[in-house]
Protein backbone atom coordinates (compact mmCIF):
# COMPACT_ATOMS: atom_id res chain seq x y z
CA UNK A 1 0.00 0.00 0.00
CA UNK A 2 1.29 3.55 -0.73
CA UNK A 3 2.70 5.46 2.24
CA UNK A 4 2.69 9.24 2.67
CA UNK A 5 6.01 11.01 3.28
CA UNK A 6 6.73 11.52 6.97
CA UNK A 7 5.56 14.79 8.49
CA UNK A 8 3.12 15.78 5.74
CA UNK A 9 0.02 14.81 7.72
CA UNK A 10 -0.43 14.05 11.39
CA UNK A 11 -2.48 11.49 13.29
CA UNK A 12 -6.07 11.51 14.43
CA UNK A 13 -6.93 12.43 18.00
CA UNK A 14 -9.09 9.60 19.38
CA UNK A 15 -10.00 11.71 22.43
CA UNK A 16 -11.41 14.58 20.39
CA UNK A 17 -15.15 15.06 20.05
CA UNK A 18 -14.57 16.46 16.54
CA UNK A 19 -15.76 14.08 13.82
CA UNK A 20 -12.99 12.03 12.22
CA UNK A 21 -13.69 13.30 8.69
CA UNK A 22 -13.41 16.89 9.96
CA UNK A 23 -10.10 16.14 11.68
CA UNK A 24 -8.76 14.85 8.38
CA UNK A 25 -10.07 17.92 6.56
CA UNK A 26 -8.43 20.13 9.21
CA UNK A 27 -5.05 18.48 8.66
CA UNK A 28 -5.26 18.73 4.88
CA UNK A 29 -6.30 22.37 5.12
CA UNK A 30 -3.39 23.13 7.44
CA UNK A 31 -0.97 21.39 5.08
CA UNK A 32 -2.26 23.54 2.21
CA UNK A 33 -2.02 26.72 4.29
CA UNK A 34 1.59 25.90 5.25
CA UNK A 35 2.56 25.22 1.64
CA UNK A 36 3.12 21.49 2.02
CA UNK A 37 0.73 21.21 -0.91
CA UNK A 38 1.18 24.14 -3.28
CA UNK A 39 -1.41 25.44 -5.73
CA UNK A 40 -1.90 22.92 -8.51
CA UNK A 41 -0.45 20.07 -6.44
CA UNK A 42 -2.28 16.78 -6.27
CA UNK A 43 -3.44 15.76 -2.81
CA UNK A 44 -2.79 12.23 -1.54
CA UNK A 45 -5.12 9.73 -3.17
CA UNK A 46 -8.11 8.26 -1.38
CA UNK A 47 -6.18 5.01 -1.02
CA UNK A 48 -3.21 6.80 0.55
CA UNK A 49 -5.45 8.65 3.00
CA UNK A 50 -7.38 5.50 3.90
CA UNK A 51 -4.10 3.74 4.67
CA UNK A 52 -2.59 6.68 6.55
CA UNK A 53 -5.56 7.30 8.84
CA UNK A 54 -6.98 3.79 9.04
CA UNK A 55 -10.48 4.94 8.10
CA UNK A 56 -13.05 4.03 5.49
CA UNK A 57 -13.01 5.38 1.96
CA UNK A 58 -16.33 7.15 2.63
CA UNK A 59 -14.79 9.02 5.58
CA UNK A 60 -11.96 10.22 3.32
CA UNK A 61 -14.42 11.30 0.64
CA UNK A 62 -16.39 13.29 3.21
CA UNK A 63 -13.16 15.04 4.24
CA UNK A 64 -12.33 15.97 0.66
CA UNK A 65 -15.89 17.18 0.12
CA UNK A 66 -15.42 19.64 3.00
CA UNK A 67 -12.37 21.13 1.26
CA UNK A 68 -14.16 21.25 -2.08
CA UNK A 69 -17.06 23.06 -0.44
CA UNK A 70 -14.60 25.63 0.92
CA UNK A 71 -13.17 26.16 -2.55
CA UNK A 72 -9.68 25.02 -1.52
CA UNK A 73 -9.46 22.03 -3.85
CA UNK A 74 -10.94 20.84 -7.10
CA UNK A 75 -11.63 17.27 -8.18
CA UNK A 76 -10.70 16.20 -11.70
CA UNK A 77 -12.45 13.02 -12.79
CA UNK A 78 -10.02 10.15 -13.20
CA UNK A 79 -7.04 12.26 -12.10
CA UNK A 80 -7.50 13.11 -8.45
CA UNK A 81 -8.01 16.10 -6.17
CA UNK A 82 -5.83 19.19 -6.65
CA UNK A 83 -5.16 22.38 -4.70
CA UNK A 84 -7.03 25.15 -6.47
CA UNK A 85 -4.75 27.72 -8.15
CA UNK A 86 -4.83 31.26 -6.83
CA UNK A 87 -6.66 33.92 -8.85
CA UNK A 88 -4.69 34.73 -12.03
CA UNK A 89 -6.13 38.20 -12.68
CA UNK A 90 -5.44 41.29 -10.60
CA UNK A 91 -8.24 43.79 -11.14
CA UNK A 92 -6.84 47.19 -10.18
CA UNK A 93 -9.86 49.47 -9.93
CA UNK A 94 -7.88 52.71 -10.06
CA UNK A 95 -6.17 51.81 -13.36
CA UNK A 96 -8.42 49.55 -15.43
CA UNK A 97 -10.48 52.40 -16.93
CA UNK A 98 -7.60 54.82 -17.42
CA UNK A 99 -8.03 56.84 -20.61
CA UNK A 100 -4.54 55.90 -21.81
CA UNK A 101 -5.70 52.31 -22.27
CA UNK A 102 -8.57 53.39 -24.51
CA UNK A 103 -6.24 55.65 -26.46
CA UNK A 104 -4.04 52.59 -27.03
CA UNK A 105 -7.09 50.72 -28.32
CA UNK A 106 -7.34 48.40 -25.33
CA UNK A 107 -10.41 47.56 -23.29
CA UNK A 108 -10.10 46.96 -19.54
CA UNK A 109 -10.34 43.17 -19.96
CA UNK A 110 -7.52 43.11 -22.51
CA UNK A 111 -5.34 45.21 -20.19
CA UNK A 112 -5.90 42.78 -17.32
CA UNK A 113 -5.36 39.74 -19.53
CA UNK A 114 -2.06 41.18 -20.78
CA UNK A 115 -0.93 41.79 -17.21
CA UNK A 116 -1.79 38.19 -16.30
CA UNK A 117 -0.01 36.82 -19.38
CA UNK A 118 -3.25 35.23 -20.58
CA UNK A 119 -5.06 35.10 -23.91
CA UNK A 120 -8.45 36.89 -23.75
CA UNK A 121 -11.50 35.92 -25.80
CA UNK A 122 -15.18 36.84 -25.78
CA UNK A 123 -18.11 34.62 -26.72
CA UNK A 124 -21.86 34.24 -26.15
CA UNK A 125 -22.35 37.76 -27.51
CA UNK A 126 -25.92 39.06 -27.66
CA UNK A 127 -26.94 42.61 -28.58
CA UNK A 128 -30.56 43.69 -28.41
CA UNK A 129 -32.85 46.60 -27.66
CA UNK A 130 -35.04 46.00 -24.63
CA UNK A 131 -36.94 47.53 -21.75
CA UNK A 132 -34.63 47.88 -18.74
CA UNK A 133 -35.33 46.57 -15.26
CA UNK A 134 -36.43 49.11 -12.70
CA UNK A 135 -32.98 49.07 -11.10
CA UNK A 136 -31.15 49.70 -14.37
CA UNK A 137 -33.64 52.38 -15.43
CA UNK A 138 -33.18 54.20 -12.12
CA UNK A 139 -29.39 54.11 -12.41
CA UNK A 140 -29.56 55.47 -15.98
CA UNK A 141 -32.02 58.22 -15.18
CA UNK A 142 -35.22 56.59 -16.41
CA UNK A 143 -34.88 55.61 -20.10
CA UNK A 144 -37.72 53.43 -21.40
CA UNK A 145 -35.49 51.51 -23.80
CA UNK A 146 -31.84 50.53 -23.67
CA UNK A 147 -29.30 48.74 -25.79
CA UNK A 148 -28.12 45.64 -23.94
CA UNK A 149 -24.78 44.01 -24.75
CA UNK A 150 -24.32 40.56 -23.16
CA UNK A 151 -21.06 38.67 -23.42
CA UNK A 152 -18.90 36.09 -21.68
CA UNK A 153 -15.20 36.66 -21.10
CA UNK A 154 -12.62 33.86 -21.17
CA UNK A 155 -8.93 33.66 -20.30
CA UNK A 156 -6.98 30.91 -22.05
CA UNK A 157 -10.31 29.29 -22.88
CA UNK A 158 -11.63 29.35 -19.30
CA UNK A 159 -14.80 31.39 -18.58
CA UNK A 160 -14.10 33.98 -15.90
CA UNK A 161 -16.98 36.47 -16.10
CA UNK A 162 -20.29 37.26 -17.74
CA UNK A 163 -21.32 40.86 -18.23
CA UNK A 164 -24.25 42.88 -19.55
CA UNK A 165 -23.88 46.55 -20.46
CA UNK A 166 -27.01 48.69 -20.63
CA UNK A 167 -26.82 51.99 -22.55
CA UNK A 168 -29.55 54.56 -23.19
CA UNK A 169 -30.92 53.86 -26.64
CA UNK A 170 -30.59 57.48 -27.75
CA UNK A 171 -26.82 57.17 -27.24
CA UNK A 172 -26.18 53.74 -28.69
CA UNK A 173 -28.64 53.09 -31.52
CA UNK A 174 -27.06 53.30 -34.96
CA UNK A 175 -23.51 53.63 -33.59
CA UNK A 176 -20.58 51.17 -33.47
CA UNK A 177 -21.68 50.37 -29.91
CA UNK A 178 -24.55 48.39 -31.43
CA UNK A 179 -22.12 46.33 -33.55
CA UNK A 180 -20.66 42.97 -32.46
CA UNK A 181 -17.19 44.52 -32.46
CA UNK A 182 -17.42 48.13 -31.26
CA UNK A 183 -13.80 48.75 -32.23
CA UNK A 184 -10.49 49.49 -30.45
CA UNK A 185 -10.88 50.53 -26.84
CA UNK A 186 -14.39 49.09 -26.56
CA UNK A 187 -17.66 50.89 -25.90
CA UNK A 188 -16.08 53.50 -23.60
CA UNK A 189 -13.85 54.71 -26.43
CA UNK A 190 -16.91 54.94 -28.69
CA UNK A 191 -18.87 56.90 -26.07
CA UNK A 192 -16.07 59.44 -25.83
CA UNK A 193 -15.95 59.74 -29.63
CA UNK A 194 -19.67 60.52 -29.49
CA UNK A 195 -18.97 63.42 -27.16
CA UNK A 196 -19.57 61.75 -23.82
CA UNK A 197 -16.18 62.14 -22.16
CA UNK A 198 -16.11 59.87 -19.15
CA UNK A 199 -15.69 61.51 -15.77
CA UNK A 200 -16.02 58.79 -13.14
CA UNK A 201 -17.39 55.35 -12.32
CA UNK A 202 -19.37 54.05 -9.36
CA UNK A 203 -19.19 50.38 -8.43
CA UNK A 204 -21.18 48.23 -6.02
CA UNK A 205 -19.67 44.86 -5.18
CA UNK A 206 -20.95 41.88 -3.25
CA UNK A 207 -19.97 38.24 -2.94
CA UNK A 208 -22.52 35.44 -3.03
CA UNK A 209 -22.99 31.85 -4.05
CA UNK A 210 -23.87 31.41 -7.73
CA UNK A 211 -27.24 30.62 -9.23
CA UNK A 212 -27.42 27.32 -11.17
CA UNK A 213 -27.34 29.19 -14.49
CA UNK A 214 -24.17 31.02 -13.39
CA UNK A 215 -22.50 27.74 -12.41
CA UNK A 216 -23.18 26.49 -15.93
CA UNK A 217 -22.16 29.69 -17.74
CA UNK A 218 -18.90 30.11 -15.80
CA UNK A 219 -18.25 26.37 -15.43
CA UNK A 220 -17.74 26.81 -11.70
CA UNK A 221 -16.49 24.03 -9.48
CA UNK A 222 -18.33 23.12 -6.30
CA UNK A 223 -17.93 25.67 -3.50
CA UNK A 224 -16.76 28.56 -5.70
CA UNK A 225 -18.65 31.82 -5.04
CA UNK A 226 -19.10 34.67 -7.47
CA UNK A 227 -18.39 38.38 -7.28
CA UNK A 228 -21.41 40.41 -8.40
CA UNK A 229 -20.40 43.89 -9.51
CA UNK A 230 -22.65 46.66 -10.82
CA UNK A 231 -20.85 49.64 -12.33
CA UNK A 232 -22.32 52.95 -13.53
CA UNK A 233 -20.30 55.18 -15.87
CA UNK A 234 -20.87 58.96 -15.81
CA UNK A 235 -19.81 61.57 -18.33
CA UNK A 236 -18.50 65.04 -17.50
CA UNK A 237 -22.05 66.43 -17.62
CA UNK A 238 -23.06 64.07 -14.82
CA UNK A 239 -25.15 61.84 -17.07
CA UNK A 240 -25.14 58.09 -16.47
CA UNK A 241 -24.17 56.65 -19.87
CA UNK A 242 -23.81 52.96 -19.03
CA UNK A 243 -24.66 50.41 -16.38
CA UNK A 244 -22.63 47.20 -16.47
CA UNK A 245 -23.86 44.19 -14.49
CA UNK A 246 -21.02 41.67 -14.11
CA UNK A 247 -20.79 38.26 -12.47
CA UNK A 248 -17.23 37.02 -11.97
CA UNK A 249 -15.80 33.69 -10.86
CA UNK A 250 -14.33 34.55 -7.46
CA UNK A 251 -11.42 32.14 -7.92
CA UNK A 252 -10.30 34.00 -11.06
CA UNK A 253 -9.83 37.51 -9.64
CA UNK A 254 -8.11 39.56 -7.00
CA UNK A 255 -9.85 42.90 -6.53
CA UNK A 256 -7.21 45.54 -5.81
CA UNK A 257 -7.78 49.16 -4.77
CA UNK A 258 -5.66 52.24 -4.22
CA UNK A 259 -7.34 54.67 -1.83
CA UNK A 260 -6.17 58.19 -1.03
CA UNK A 261 -5.30 59.05 2.56
CA UNK A 262 -7.18 62.17 3.59
The CATH class of 90-255 is alpha beta
Tell me the C-alpha distance between 59 and 25, whole Å. Answer: 10
Provide the residue-wise pLDDT of the chain in tens; the chain has 262 residues.
455 666 788 899 999 999 999 999 999 999 999 989 998 899 999 999 999 999 999 999 999 999 988 778 888 888 999 998 766 677 766 677 777 877 787 777 888 888 878 889 999 999 999 999 999 999 999 999 999 999 999 988 889 999 999 999 999 999 999 999 999 989 999 999 999 999 999 999 999 999 999 999 999 887 789 999 999 999 999 999 999 999 999 988 888 887 778 7
User: What is the CATH number that goes with domain 20-83?
Assistant: 1.10.10.10
Residue ranges of the chain that CATH labels 1.10.10.10: 20-83
Distance of CA 129 to the CA centre of its chain: 27
**Three-state SS letters, 168-230:** EHHHHCCCHHHCCCCCCCHHHHHHHHCCCCEEEEEEEEEEECCCHHHHHHHCCCCCCCEEEEE
Whether pTM > 0.85 for this model: the answer is no
Residue ranges of the chain that CATH labels 3.40.1410.10: 90-255
Beta-strand pair 89-92/253-256: parallel
The rounded radius of gyration (Å) of the Cα atoms in the chain is 23
Q: What 3-state DSSP class applies to 78?
A: coil
Amino acid sequence: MPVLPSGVLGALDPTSDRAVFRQIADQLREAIDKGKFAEGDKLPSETELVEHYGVSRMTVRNSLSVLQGEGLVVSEHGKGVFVRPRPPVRRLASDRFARRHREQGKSAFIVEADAAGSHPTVDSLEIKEERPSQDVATRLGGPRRVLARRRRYLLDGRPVEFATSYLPLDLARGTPIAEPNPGPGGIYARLEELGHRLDHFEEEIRARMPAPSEVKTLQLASGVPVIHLVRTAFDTEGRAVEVCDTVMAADAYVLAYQLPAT
